[in-house]
Protein backbone atom coordinates (compact mmCIF):
# COMPACT_ATOMS: atom_id res chain seq x y z
CA UNK A 1 0.00 0.00 0.00
CA UNK A 2 3.07 2.22 0.29
CA UNK A 3 3.44 4.72 -2.53
CA UNK A 4 6.01 4.34 -5.28
CA UNK A 5 7.82 7.29 -3.70
CA UNK A 6 8.12 5.60 -0.30
CA UNK A 7 9.38 2.44 -2.06
CA UNK A 8 12.00 4.54 -3.86
CA UNK A 9 13.19 6.09 -0.59
CA UNK A 10 13.15 2.67 1.15
CA UNK A 11 15.23 1.21 -1.68
CA UNK A 12 17.73 4.08 -1.63
CA UNK A 13 17.98 4.64 2.13
CA UNK A 14 17.57 1.12 3.52
CA UNK A 15 17.61 -1.76 1.06
CA UNK A 16 20.69 -0.56 -0.82
CA UNK A 17 22.62 -0.76 2.46
CA UNK A 18 21.43 -4.34 3.16
CA UNK A 19 21.65 -5.74 -0.38
CA UNK A 20 24.50 -4.44 -2.57
CA UNK A 21 22.90 -2.30 -5.27
CA UNK A 22 19.46 -2.59 -3.67
CA UNK A 23 16.82 -5.19 -4.38
CA UNK A 24 17.00 -5.97 -8.12
CA UNK A 25 13.29 -6.32 -8.80
CA UNK A 26 10.32 -3.96 -8.99
CA UNK A 27 8.11 -3.36 -6.00
CA UNK A 28 4.39 -2.80 -6.41
CA UNK A 29 2.43 0.09 -4.95
CA UNK A 30 -1.15 -0.97 -4.18
CA UNK A 31 -3.13 2.06 -3.09
CA UNK A 32 -6.62 0.90 -2.15
CA UNK A 33 -5.63 -2.75 -1.77
CA UNK A 34 -6.95 -3.98 -5.14
CA UNK A 35 -3.94 -6.23 -5.79
CA UNK A 36 -3.76 -7.29 -2.13
CA UNK A 37 -7.33 -8.55 -2.36
CA UNK A 38 -6.47 -10.63 -5.44
CA UNK A 39 -3.48 -12.20 -3.66
CA UNK A 40 -5.31 -12.69 -0.37
CA UNK A 41 -3.16 -10.35 1.71
CA UNK A 42 -5.52 -7.40 2.16
CA UNK A 43 -6.73 -6.85 5.71
CA UNK A 44 -10.23 -5.36 5.29
CA UNK A 45 -10.58 -4.41 8.96
CA UNK A 46 -7.38 -2.33 9.06
CA UNK A 47 -7.40 -1.30 5.39
CA UNK A 48 -3.83 -2.45 4.78
CA UNK A 49 -1.98 -5.23 3.01
CA UNK A 50 -0.13 -7.81 5.08
CA UNK A 51 3.51 -7.93 4.04
CA UNK A 52 3.97 -10.37 1.23
CA UNK A 53 6.29 -11.15 -1.63
CA UNK A 54 5.36 -12.98 -4.78
CA UNK A 55 7.86 -14.22 -7.33
CA UNK A 56 6.09 -14.15 -10.68
CA UNK A 57 7.75 -15.62 -13.76
CA UNK A 58 7.73 -14.01 -17.22
CA UNK A 59 4.64 -16.09 -18.07
CA UNK A 60 2.72 -14.50 -15.18
CA UNK A 61 2.75 -17.62 -12.99
CA UNK A 62 3.44 -17.34 -9.25
CA UNK A 63 6.51 -19.46 -8.56
CA UNK A 64 6.95 -18.57 -4.88
CA UNK A 65 5.25 -16.49 -2.23
CA UNK A 66 5.83 -15.57 1.38
CA UNK A 67 3.45 -13.74 3.70
CA UNK A 68 4.69 -12.65 7.11
CA UNK A 69 3.13 -10.73 9.98
CA UNK A 70 4.78 -7.29 10.40
CA UNK A 71 6.81 -8.18 13.52
CA UNK A 72 8.71 -10.95 11.68
CA UNK A 73 11.60 -9.85 9.47
CA UNK A 74 12.19 -11.13 5.98
CA UNK A 75 15.34 -12.73 4.60
CA UNK A 76 16.51 -10.83 1.51
CA UNK A 77 19.42 -13.22 0.94
CA UNK A 78 16.95 -16.09 0.64
CA UNK A 79 14.79 -14.06 -1.72
CA UNK A 80 17.79 -13.36 -3.99
CA UNK A 81 18.85 -17.04 -3.78
CA UNK A 82 15.38 -18.12 -4.86
CA UNK A 83 15.33 -15.63 -7.74
CA UNK A 84 18.66 -17.00 -8.99
CA UNK A 85 17.46 -20.58 -8.60
CA UNK A 86 14.24 -19.92 -10.54
CA UNK A 87 16.25 -18.17 -13.26
CA UNK A 88 18.65 -21.13 -13.46
CA UNK A 89 15.82 -23.67 -13.69
CA UNK A 90 14.09 -21.64 -16.36
CA UNK A 91 17.31 -21.34 -18.39
CA UNK A 92 18.59 -24.93 -18.03
CA UNK A 93 15.62 -27.07 -16.95
CA UNK A 94 17.80 -28.46 -14.14
CA UNK A 95 16.01 -28.65 -10.76
CA UNK A 96 17.88 -27.09 -7.86
CA UNK A 97 18.00 -28.76 -4.44
CA UNK A 98 17.18 -27.02 -1.16
CA UNK A 99 19.62 -24.23 -0.38
CA UNK A 100 21.11 -24.31 -3.90
CA UNK A 101 23.52 -21.51 -4.77
CA UNK A 102 24.83 -20.56 -8.23
CA UNK A 103 27.77 -22.79 -9.19
CA UNK A 104 26.63 -25.64 -6.94
CA UNK A 105 25.34 -29.03 -8.07
CA UNK A 106 21.89 -29.28 -9.57
CA UNK A 107 19.67 -32.34 -9.85
CA UNK A 108 19.16 -34.15 -13.13
CA UNK A 109 15.44 -34.79 -13.58
CA UNK A 110 14.28 -38.34 -14.14
CA UNK A 111 12.35 -41.20 -12.62
CA UNK A 112 15.61 -42.81 -11.43
CA UNK A 113 16.01 -39.88 -8.99
CA UNK A 114 12.77 -40.58 -7.12
CA UNK A 115 13.59 -41.70 -3.59
CA UNK A 116 17.33 -41.32 -4.25
CA UNK A 117 17.94 -37.59 -3.93
CA UNK A 118 19.81 -38.28 -0.69
CA UNK A 119 22.36 -40.34 -2.68
CA UNK A 120 23.23 -37.57 -5.11
CA UNK A 121 22.91 -34.42 -3.04
CA UNK A 122 24.18 -33.43 0.40
CA UNK A 123 23.54 -30.18 2.28
CA UNK A 124 26.19 -27.61 1.44
CA UNK A 125 27.27 -29.17 -1.87
- The CA distance from 54 to 62, in Å, is 7
Question: Could you tell me if residue 106 is inside a domain?
Answer: yes
Domain count, the chain: 2
Question: Could you tell me if residue 64 is inside a domain?
Answer: no
Q: Give the number of residues written for the chain.
A: 125
Question: Could you tell me if residue 61 is inside a domain?
Answer: no
- The CA distance from 64 to 40, in Å, is 14
The answer on 75 and 32 residing in a single domain is no
Q: What is the pLDDT of residue 125?
A: 61
pLDDT tens, position by position, for the chain (125 residues)? 788 888 889 888 988 888 788 877 778 788 889 999 999 999 999 988 888 889 999 999 999 999 988 888 888 889 889 999 999 999 999 888 888 999 988 887 777 677 777 777 777 66
Q: Which residue range forms the structural domain that includes residue 81? A: 70-125
Query: Where are the alpha helices (H) located in 25-122, listed in sequence order?
Result: 34-39, 76-92, 117-120
Question: Could you tell me if residue 65 is inside a domain?
Answer: no
Amino acid sequence: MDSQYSHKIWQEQELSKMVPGGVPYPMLSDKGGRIGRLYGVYNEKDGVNIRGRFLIDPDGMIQAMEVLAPPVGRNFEELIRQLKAFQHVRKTGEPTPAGWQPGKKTLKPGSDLVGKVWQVWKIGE
